[in-house]
Chain A
Amino acid sequence: MAKTALQFQHNGRDVAIFVDGGTNLLVALRELIGDMTPKFGCGQGGCGACSILIDGELHLSCLTLAETVAGRSVETLDGIKEGPNLHPLQRAFADNFAAQCGYCTPGMLMAAKALLDRNPQPSRAAVVEAISGNICRCTGYEPIINAVLAAASGGRARA
């Protein structure tokens, strides 16, 4: 199979890989880069488990042709920690019991980050809208929404 060379920034670090034609970014990240934080849930754009940021915008890595990120910046959950410290969103998710099985959590966190990067003080409705493309099957939307709001208010929980 013909392979194509691909370079991009992965969580601030330059990476270079060779991809097969038609490889999606989810497979490229997981199998070629070794970043297992984006998850496969549907391959259809229906669940949001593979959500990542491309140049700061929320995208679905399973529906992104890998070579379209050439020269661009890709950010995954693996890159949001601040050194050894959790990102405020990660801390808020833990404090608010916003994960059960944990499978939707990487995508939820990236969708939440995309929101807070743009709108640091979102309304509850804005949070609901921001995570509307992410499915949680353990029925944890309320704690997730509360966690995002808590992170937005700097750790001070609000109703």
Chain B
Amino acid sequence: MLELRKDIFADERDDNLKEIGKGTQRQDMLGHVTGTSTYFDDHKLQGMLHLKVVRSTHAHARLRRIDTSEAERSAGVRRIIRGSDVPRNLNTLLSLINFGKDDEPSLAVDKVRYKGEPIVAIVADSPREAYEAMAKVRIDYEPLPAVLDVEDALKPGAPVVNDTYPKNAFIYHDVYDHQKLRFGDVERGLAAADHVLEQRYQMSPIEHAPTETNGSIAAPDTNGRYIVYTSTQALFFSLDTCAKILDVPSNTFHFIGGTVGGGFGGKVDTLTEPLSILGAMLTGRPVRYLFGREEEMQYGPPRGAERIYIKDGVMRDGRIVARKIRAYFDSGAYTRLSSYAAVKCAAHLPGPYTIPNVYGDVYCVFTNRTPATAMRGFGVTAMDFAIECQMDKLAHLVGMDPMEFRILNAYRDGDMKAHRREAKNTALIECVQVAAEKAKWPIREEFKRASSRKEGGGSRAAIPPTPRESYAPATAPSQQRTTYDRAPATSREPPSPPPPPPPRPLAPSHGAARFSSVFGTRRR
């Protein structure tokens, strides 16, 4: 059960709240235990057809010819859908918030860029008849060299994965091929350190493996609209994506969902809805497109792989004085949400520690692998894994207890973070202390006495002089901003001396302003 340590967080929460802090029954529990919760596939519609997709057998190939003539004549086939049937056969998910360029077709036309990419959709009376027709689709591939490694993809002469981004890296604000963080002078920090440790970390893609596979059922409604039952985790996001791809007003659709059989981030990509709706539009019948388990595991989008290099400078007394990070987020063949993942990755540097010199470069890289997507803290978890492994190694290097090493370097309230924001409500020190206590891990008295509320700020609140790198002036083009955006900040920080620490607010200020990784700070 959740335990709120009042000795540490005395003023964090009112104890007289009616619901917060109390156990409460889920509103859908009765439906779950009686099996009457309605998932998208629990809708049985008259005359429903079944859609299945022919997928690429190559990681990278030109499509010389796609012959569906025999498949069209196959028993039970109602319609074959090709890329040319899709009204706007190029999209990127975050285009709904004007972030990134359209780069992914619903059905491949001239090229396939990952193994399993959809090429042809078949709508048939039964799944069996759809399978039989799939076997009759003839595709003439011209295999192309594939690049499956993030660093190889960035080398000169690497195969171009996604023509929208010919250098195999997502381009931010039309200018930058990576996310950059600069705070202090990391090279000087490394030069002054007693020890320098450079390590390479890597995390593989992870499949969400929801028990309910991705899918949707689309049906013509009585009023010229379409009802769409879907497994999506992002109902209106999916609705708007479909409206864009199918080039119709969004009020064409009535999306019904919300009861999802496990998602974990793997059901936000709107993989099935555009084709099931298009199938319903082209046949006038309800169309169901459900991923099989094999499809879900092999071609459903995973958490993206990451490769991370960390170079740290640490003093004999355990203080980390410099942290330099180069990270590559493997987006797979298309952007989906990985551009945002790389932003989060950069926003998470250098971990919850106060380090005076921080340097980070994070790339969102295209490879001929299955496109990655959201999954529980994507962009953050791999970086955390790398940083915390590194912390253990650094502690070992300087002969310190790893718990005490973390307490020593933890950020404290009032410290300046590398993103030039004041650290508030940090509590990492207390978390480590409680973890040590629960694990019966001995830490020395001075570390037991440490507090995130003491000895922060002051010189630790200073923004250190940061060397400039020459770049073209970066004014974000208007296409990259929404009307909700504030004008880009124009203030430049002084090279030296550091400004005095900002005044500490008296009342907790969380909630007053919100930081958006994509757009910056917004007032609520």
Direct contact of A and B (CB under 8 A): yes
Q: Which residues from chain A sit less than 8 Å from chain B, CB to CB?
A: 1, 20, 22, 30-31, 34, 36-37, 39-44, 46-47, 49, 76-78, 81, 86, 90-91, 93-94, 97, 99-106, 109, 135-138
Minimum CB–CB distance for A114 against chain B, Å? 16
The list of the 8 closest CB pairs from A to B, nearest first, reads A103-B261, A102-B32, A37-B35, A42-B293, A99-B32, A77-B35, A90-B33, A36-B42
Minimum CB–CB distance for A49 against chain B, Å? 6
Closest A residue by C-beta to B127: A27
Q: Is B18 an interface residue (CB 8 A)?
A: no
Q: Which residues of A contact B212 (CB under 8 A)?
A: 39-41, 49, 101, 103
Q: Which residues of A contact B35 (CB under 8 A)?
A: 36-37, 76-78, 105-106, 109
A40 to B9, CA, bound (A): 46
Assess the A97–B26 pair: CB atoms within 8 A.
yes
Interface size class of B (residues with CB under 8 A): 20 to 34
Q: Which residues from chain B sit less than 8 Å from chain A, CB to CB?
A: 25-26, 28-39, 41-42, 44, 126, 128, 208-213, 259-264, 290, 292-293
A136 to B209, CA, bound (A): 10
Decide yes or no: A137 and B209 within 8 Å by CB, A46-B293, A101-B262 being known contacts.
yes
Minimum CB–CB distance for A148 against chain B, Å? 13
8 additional contacts (CB under 8 A) given A43-B292, A103-B262, A137-B262? A36-B36, A78-B35, A97-B26, A99-B29, A99-B33, A101-B263, A105-B33, A137-B264
Partner of A41, one of B36, B37, B293: B293
Minimum CB–CB distance for B19 against chain A, Å? 16
A40 to B263, CA, bound (A): 15
Closest B residue by C-beta to A93: B33
Q: Which residues of A contact B213 (CB under 8 A)?
A: 40-41
Partner of A137, one of B34, B126, B211: B211
Partner of A94, one of B29, B39, B260: B29
Q: Which residues of B contact A37 (CB under 8 A)?
A: 34-36
Assess the A101–B33 pair: CB atoms within 8 A.
no
Q: Which residues of B contact A30 (CB under 8 A)?
A: 42, 44
Assess the A102–B261 pair: CB atoms within 8 A.
yes
Partner of A77, one of B28, B34, B262: B34
Q: Which residues of B contact A97 (CB under 8 A)?
A: 26, 29
Q: Interface SS of chain B: helix, strand, loop or mixed?
A: loop
Q: Which residues of A contact B25 (CB under 8 A)?
A: 94
Closest A residue by C-beta to B259: A102
Closest A residue by C-beta to B290: A40
Name 10 A/B residue pairs within 8 A (Cβ), A-sorted. A37-B35, A40-B212, A41-B293, A43-B292, A93-B33, A101-B211, A102-B28, A102-B32, A104-B211, A109-B33
A40 to B212, CA, bound (A): 7
A41 to B231, CA, bound (A): 13
Q: Which residues of A contact B36 (CB under 8 A)?
A: 36-37
Closest A residue by C-beta to B208: A137
A105 to B37, CA, bound (A): 10
A121 to B510, CA, bound (A): 51
Q: Which residues of A contact B264 (CB under 8 A)?
A: 137
Q: Which residues of B contact A138 (CB under 8 A)?
A: 262
Q: Which residues of A contact B208 (CB under 8 A)?
A: 137
Q: Which residues of A contact B33 (CB under 8 A)?
A: 86, 90-91, 93-94, 99, 105, 109
Partner of B128, one of A22, A77, A78, A86: A22
Minimum CB–CB distance for A73 against chain B, Å? 18
Assess the B260–A101 pair: CB atoms within 8 A.
yes
Decide yes or no: A34 and B44 within 8 Å by CB, A20-B126, A104-B211 being known contacts.
yes
Closest A residue by C-beta to B42: A36
Q: Which residues of B contact A47 (CB under 8 A)?
A: 211, 293
Assess the B26–A99 pair: CB atoms within 8 A.
yes
Q: Which residues of B contact A106 (CB under 8 A)?
A: 35
Assess the A103–B209 pair: CB atoms within 8 A.
no
Minimum CB–CB distance for B17 against chain A, Å? 20
Q: Which residues of B contact A100 (CB under 8 A)?
A: 26
Minimum CB–CB distance for B130 against chain A, Å? 14
Closest A residue by C-beta to B263: A101
Decide yes or no: A101 and B29 within 8 Å by CB, A41-B211, A90-B34 being known contacts.
no
